Structure 1
């Protein structure tokens, strides 16, 4: 990637492996040698018994029992399956633990997504320096990757449905244990995933986001509009904000890279949202390879409507009794800051679930090589679609001894993925009309 040359697409013969020895998304279909990771047999393709549209998702694996509970006292027995970030959390917080369950390869997507992935495999190419992707649509572009930047773009462009609407809370903590909660309404429209659309028609847009703050009262009524772009070097993301006190909609400064995310009180940067987002041009992306790790997965226990935020959020970390980890294969990619570039994090390491391309674990390092932060994405299969996405994302700041959690919709309604939006509802003019 550092040469600036575009990466080549794979041959039709290589792409023919998809759906055979590889899953339609590009993962190894077979299980591992020890049997701790089973073969992929299609995942959860339809709603499980007891699910009703508009309700939280019943746990299809509710009868599974914990196989290992890893703590500071016994982590060395399992060290090869733990990431440096997980070990750091175990050492930092005596009450933190990792509860390991049987591995369930639940990931599944609609057939039209699988068809798009297979087509992308023989057409998609990275633009020079990995700043964008051409000749791709709908879903991940590189199911058989040969480069770290290709793996990253598989996460950035993974299939996430078409339209969403939901209400959710974020939580910030302090080193002293105080908590603050902000609740917002969210609306998403994923132009890149619109069936039948072409790359020129999406006008360099991946998705549109509109967000309205409901509480606390001092922030109520604030609205934000974001246009997320595919090539953020050629055309950076655009955003607008409406402040009730000012009674006008205005463009916000370009929010990217290591600009502090104000939603998190500075715990994370803008490009840490959704584990990583935005232009990747500041880093060299090295593909380390595949590893077997204990990763957050099938997080249905923490995705339940009868839980309150206080049940989930502890003083120093999320309640480990509600979290589920499983052995899975992950692609490991390390990002190193390029010579002459500036960013708060000099090195970053990401762990991508092979079945979904979702980043499930991330680690951020300073110039001195010290681990600064650890982020986890706790995912479920939204099996009414089906598709896999995080239900809870948590960033732990090891230096400031606090954490930020996003996706706390338990005291609200879950995501509505049947809502129908179009791009006309996500213009700055539409935001002004809504503000009035």
Structure 2
């Protein structure tokens, strides 16, 4: 690890302009090899001993897991230490987000939070840690904050100085080079009835490809193709997205093939507050992956760190035997399958800029210090009322060391309904090496696939 940091320092020193572009000093960057992890988290545990020290994360799969299989629970013997309910809410109030407190008050006693031993499982390949160290020395925001430069592969700012840097760390966090998987989404009715929409996802993360640089990727972060498998009325619908780095200079490119019209059309409005397709107006496009897209509609403030109870190590929700009907309940998911742990999170507040028409006036994001993954988000309306609460339930994947969501949901506190994505109905494990060449993600390729 020390050699990796020294190599990064050498690279930065080779160019005369490097010191002007460096976001942190060499001395600060050294912290990524001492009191901070390579990702920028505090390496030590907390004073109370309720958050452990980081020891490298879950970098080795459990012995009972086999390549190609769905991830198994690495902690099958864990039992809940305690359960937060309406009866003991005041005892844990300082460890809860405003959103979770509201969920307990509004939906208790059915909504409760089982709390387990905190395990800092997030881990990444060593070459990703090397890039964290290099990015720390070179990455910087563009003048308008709508993009970054002198960065590649993973989060640009492991030692963030402001809210924009922190949200870019989430947007550009490492999720592997490519991945293919199938999952279902649903928008349950108030009585818990639901009709799942099954999609197949193919991602190619150009930004994270080994050996690439920003000039090679043509302002692209990733390419995404989704194909709807069920229900029959939607089957064959294809969405193609080219996600750009600076979306103000070069907006997101999106196409949609409707099996009814049998035409592939550009979708220029697939961004910001637009309703997420098949979400029954319960989630906006920029809530996919908890937050995505250009940050230019908000002012971003880094509020610091807090120790909070957040979704983590959601292997019970990820379990291959768990079906959508086991998860979905009226108003919220089956909380018996949820797992919460005490972790340190960065708190970032986004306030809508004057003159912007987004449906959310204010948003608060709680970002995992060990992965830069948003774990919880709160969305407020024009009246300043808490409107929606979003959760990301995450695991560490095994075939590629990646900490990423297995299930996401947005709870609408006004409609008493929710949107959920990541439901598994016996689908294969995520494939982090499908072998894409890149030409699978052109509009012509999507058109050919639609006609098959």
TM-score range, shorter chain: over 0.9
User: 1:213 maps to what in 2?
Assistant: 228
Aligned match for 2:311, one of 296, 308, 312 = 296
Would you say 1:416 and 2:431 are equivalent positions?
yes
C-alpha distance in structure 1 between counterparts of 2:372 and 2:391, whole Å: 14
| 3-state secondary structure, aligned to 1:201 | coil
Would you say 1:263 and 2:278 are equivalent positions?
yes
C-alpha distance in structure 2 between counterparts of 1:176 and 1:129, whole Å: 46
User: What is the deviation of 1:257?
Assistant: 1.0
User: 2:70 maps to what in 1?
Assistant: 56
| 3-state secondary structure, aligned to 1:179 | coil
Would you say 1:234 and 2:249 are equivalent positions?
yes
- Is the 8 Å Cα contact of residues 7 and 127 (structure 1) preserved in structure 2? no
Unpaired runs of 5+ residues, structure 1, are 1-5
User: What is the deviation of 1:176?
Assistant: 4.1
User: 1:28 maps to what in 2?
Assistant: 42
- 244-253 or 418-427: which moved more? 244-253
Per the normalisation by structure 2, the TM-score is 0.94
User: 1:10 maps to what in 2?
Assistant: 24
Would you say 1:46 and 2:44 are equivalent positions?
no
User: What is the deviation of 1:167?
Assistant: 1.1
Map 1:353-392 → 2, pairs under 5 A: 353-392=368-407
Aligned match for 1:78, one of 69, 76, 92 = 92
| 3-state secondary structure, aligned to 1:411 | coil
| 3-state secondary structure, aligned to 2:170 | helix
- Is the 8 Å Cα contact of residues 331 and 417 (structure 2) preserved in structure 1? yes
Unpaired runs of 5+ residues, structure 2, are 1-19
C-alpha distance in structure 2 between counterparts of 1:260 and 1:7, whole Å: 38
How many correspondences in the alignment? 431
Residue deviations 1:302-327, cap 9 Å, x none?
11111111111112211111111000
Aligned match for 1:352, one of 367, 381, 399 = 367
Aligned match for 1:246, one of 239, 254, 261 = 261
- Note closer, same or farther for the CA distance 1:7–1:393 as it changes in structure 2 (3 Å cut): farther
Would you say 1:407 and 2:422 are equivalent positions?
yes
Residue deviations 1:329-365, cap 9 Å, x none?
0000000111222210110000000000000000000
- Is the 8 Å Cα contact of residues 309 and 411 (structure 1) preserved in structure 2? no
| 3-state secondary structure, aligned to 2:195 | strand
C-alpha distance in structure 2 between counterparts of 1:166 and 1:387, whole Å: 15
Aligned match for 2:81, one of 67, 70, 89 = 67
| 3-state secondary structure, aligned to 1:262 | coil
C-alpha distance in structure 2 between counterparts of 1:394 and 1:217, whole Å: 24
Aligned match for 1:126, one of 125, 134, 141 = 141
Which 4+ residue blocks in structure 1 deviate beyond 6 angstroms? none
User: What is the deviation of 1:247?
Assistant: 1.8
- Is the 8 Å Cα contact of residues 316 and 338 (structure 2) preserved in structure 1? yes
C-alpha distance in structure 2 between counterparts of 1:372 and 1:190, whole Å: 32
- Is the 8 Å Cα contact of residues 25 and 117 (structure 1) preserved in structure 2? yes
User: 1:3 maps to what in 2?
Assistant: none
User: What is the deviation of 1:8?
Assistant: 6.0
Would you say 1:320 and 2:335 are equivalent positions?
yes
Per the normalisation by structure 1, the TM-score is 0.97
User: What is the deviation of 1:421?
Assistant: 0.8
- 340-349 or 6-15: which moved more? 6-15
Aligned match for 1:105, one of 101, 120, 124 = 120
- Is the 8 Å Cα contact of residues 22 and 136 (structure 2) preserved in structure 1? no
User: 2:447 maps to what in 1?
Assistant: 432
